[in-house]
Structure 1
Amino acid sequence: MRALKLHGRSIALIAIIVPLLAVFAYVAMRSGPLAPVKVTVVRVQEGTVSPTLFGIGTVEARHTYRIGPTLAGRVSRVEAQVGDRVSAGQVLGEMDAVDLSDRIRAQDAALKRARAGVREAEARQAFAQAQSRRYDKLSALQAASEEVAITRRQEREIAEAGLIAAREELARVQSERAALVAQLENLRLVAPVDGVVTLREAEPGTTVVAGQAVVELIDPSSLWINLRLDQVGAGELARDLEAAIVLRSRSEAPLPGRVLRVEPRADAVTEELLAKVVFDSRPEPMPPLGELAEVTVALPPAPAAVVVPNAALRREAGEVGVWQVKEGRLHFAPLKLGAADLDGRVQVRAGLTAGEEIVLYSERALSSGSRIDVVSTLPGAHR
């Protein structure tokens, strides 16, 4: 009787445990770690991509004018303020002339003496020429000796040499005075073009050396973006390609532009190409120099080919590819990729053909042995 009771209990326990194990196994296979991975799939199609390049740059001025004296001196006045718009020829400041005006007046007096000396030399030369011709005629008529005629000719040559010397002295004095006047003009700091004052580097009373800038001026029509682009995929970057410029302070309004030139030197450290991008029209108000800008350059459209979404790309064992779905099983297909666009589409050069099915999204990482459950959308995905 006791054995029958134990046997009955065992059967009862087995009857309870087996269904529980079955339920556990079912739950584990459907919603636990052994459950199939939910994925969404997409069918590969042919299409074209419009490749683009994206880079970060800074606003700079193509033409910058650093205005200062050509000789060392003291700043007398500075009339330009940072941010002022100035016109070509406008006086921005002036250097202290010290004794330059007195030296010009002294040269004026020397110039008068030199001109008087020239007039005197011209009179002597004219008198000597007349005397020489007169005595040459008298000598020919034997009314004067040959020695006297020779003396008069020597006097004429001396007078001509004196006239040449007087004229050279006049030219020297004129040149010295012109140099002093030019120095005086150079003391006036004049704007060479219409522009905007960006720096005021010296105040009145400051002593500056030759070549040191007192005021810095830029031409606002020469603004451009000094752009840096990753060398990968930038092989087709060329002049005159269209670009969209988004200034950091005006992110809501992209500005049209174009590539002015591609620099012949690249940055070997950052592995970037350098390019200059100009605005199609001058932005108003003028953006500050050094402001960051995001630039998107549109490259020529790529030829039609197999195209996959960028979201489908995975990296497995150092290779980039996609998970193919064949008869409900996964197979990793390494790809050779081409151009990509900002819409998230990537050109496939080798590894896939049109019509094949690939995994677009998965709820967790996949492997070749993963079981999958194809769904239209993943739980929690944005609608």
Structure 2
Amino acid sequence: MRRGLIFGGAAVVAIGIGALFLSERPLVVSIVEPESDTVLRIYGLGTVEARILSKVGFEVGAMLTELSVDDGDAVVRGQDLAALHPAEQEARVARAEAALAANAANLAKAEAAVLRARAVLAQREAANRRQQDLVRQDVASIQRAEEAQRDVDVARADLAVSEAEVEVIRAQGADAAAALRLEKTLLAHHSLTAPYDALVVARHAEAGAVVKAGDPIFTLIDPETIWIQAYVDEERAGQLALGQPGTIRLRSRPEDEFHGTVSRIGLESDRVNEERRVWLTCGDCPSEMFLGEQAEVRITTGTRERALMVPEVAIAGFDGHLGKVWTVQDGRLHEVELTFGARDDRGRVEVTGGLPDGATVVAAPPKGADEGRLARMAEPAS
């Protein structure tokens, strides 16, 4: 019985010694080394787009009779792209031209009536002067003089009416001319021309189709305005600024790296995905680009002569500015709260303050870590 008690006590002592040994055994940890000439970049995923993209169509509706271009064609400003059946509108133009010609004839007739009215007035005024002279000489009666004056007044009124009719017909002529211009403009709308030097991206209709006003016939882009639209996480978007350089990789050409510049930053973020849009113009991208192709961008937001970049996975309770990390000080682990600043495209954050002198930051949360436990730095990989 005494032997059992002795063996049991020995086992308890052995377990205690083992637990003490395990608790004091140094943990092997990897540490974060300071870096020189660190480049800070932001990652974004987006697509190839065109700043100037137009879905062009007719301003009137009719049957589509002709299409002169197709997908992939380059067109110049003013080039004919398509045409509508013009017969109905041509008839309206002819009718407006006839109305204008009739107005011109009416105007000539009215102007002739004015000349006649002026001649009659001149005749009546001469007769009136004679009658008035005869009255003063007591040769003619007063009644004859009054009748002569009345004839003058009537002739003057007739002239005023004729002149007014000329003005009315002239106004009608202006209206007829405007109507003719309108009909000719609508006839011109039966021909679709390129609004600028462009590339045809898509053709949406074929000859024989009856289209309505505003229906898209072609999608055009200005090939000089191709750029990359990318989405950046809001947590990193605060580092963005116009003019920052960036690198671009197209999905169809992953082996090539192209260079661009931030030319626009969206004023509105995506409320669901919590991302901000940014556009990069590309200086050396291929001449042939495909809209909608996926592209990866890395925007350089700054550089540091010397920086300590900690992986985000090593930070506990990180709120974008503050977080706790494990550090090694005098060979033992300690949890310390640090302040952080800029981020990069490799999931790392720059330490800006709070690190005690002589302390090094652990690169990943070690298993079994405890305050004050012995720690040993891992040997760097050869």
TM-score, normalised to structure 1's length? 0.79
Cα distance change, pair 260–140 in 1 and its aligned pair in 2 (3 A): farther
Alignment check: 8 A CA contact 2:43 2:345 kept:
no
Alignment check: 8 A CA contact 2:313 2:364 kept:
no
Distance 1:373 1:182 in 2: 86
Q: Deviation digits for residues 334-372 of structure 1, max 9, x if unmatched?
A: 322111335776421222146433444799664446544
The share of aligned pairs that are identical, in percent, is 28
From 176, 185, 202, give the equivalent of 1:199. 202
* Structure 1 residue ranges without an equivalent (≥5): 1-21
- 1:263 matched to 2:249? The reply is no
Q: How does 1:355-370 map to 2 (within 5 A)?
A: 355-360=358-363, 366-368=369-371
Distance 1:131 1:239 in 2: 82
Alignment check: 8 A CA contact 2:100 2:176 kept:
yes
Q: How does 1:230-309 map to 2 (within 5 A)?
A: 230-280=233-283, 283-301=285-303, 307-309=307-309
Alignment check: 8 A CA contact 2:312 2:347 kept:
no
- 1:86 matched to 2:75? The reply is yes
Aligned to 2:60, what secondary structure does the other structure show?
Answer: coil
Residue 314 of structure 1 corresponds to which residue in structure 2? 314
Kindly provide the amino acid, as one letter, of the partner of residue 257 in structure 1: G
Distance 1:352 1:101 in 2: 84
TM-score, normalised to structure 2's length? 0.79
From 103, 109, 117, give the equivalent of 1:120. 109
Q: How does 1:131-280 map to 2 (within 5 A)?
A: 131-136=120-125, 138-140=127-129, 142=132, 145-280=148-283
Kindly provide the amino acid, as one letter, of the partner of residue 81 in structure 2: L
Cα distance change, pair 365–53 in 1 and its aligned pair in 2 (3 A): farther
Q: Deviation digits for residues 64-86 of structure 1, max 9, x if unmatched?
A: 22221222211111121111111
* Structure 2 residue ranges without an equivalent (≥5): 1-13, 134-144
Aligned to 2:259, what secondary structure does the other structure show?
Answer: strand
Residue 109 of structure 1 corresponds to which residue in structure 2? 98
Residue 6 of structure 1 corresponds to which residue in structure 2? none
- 1:38 matched to 2:31? The reply is no
From 63, 72, 81, give the equivalent of 2:52. 63
Kindly provide the amino acid, as one letter, of the partner of residue 300 in structure 2: A
Distance 2:125 2:303 in 1: 95
Residue 84 of structure 2 corresponds to which residue in structure 1? 95
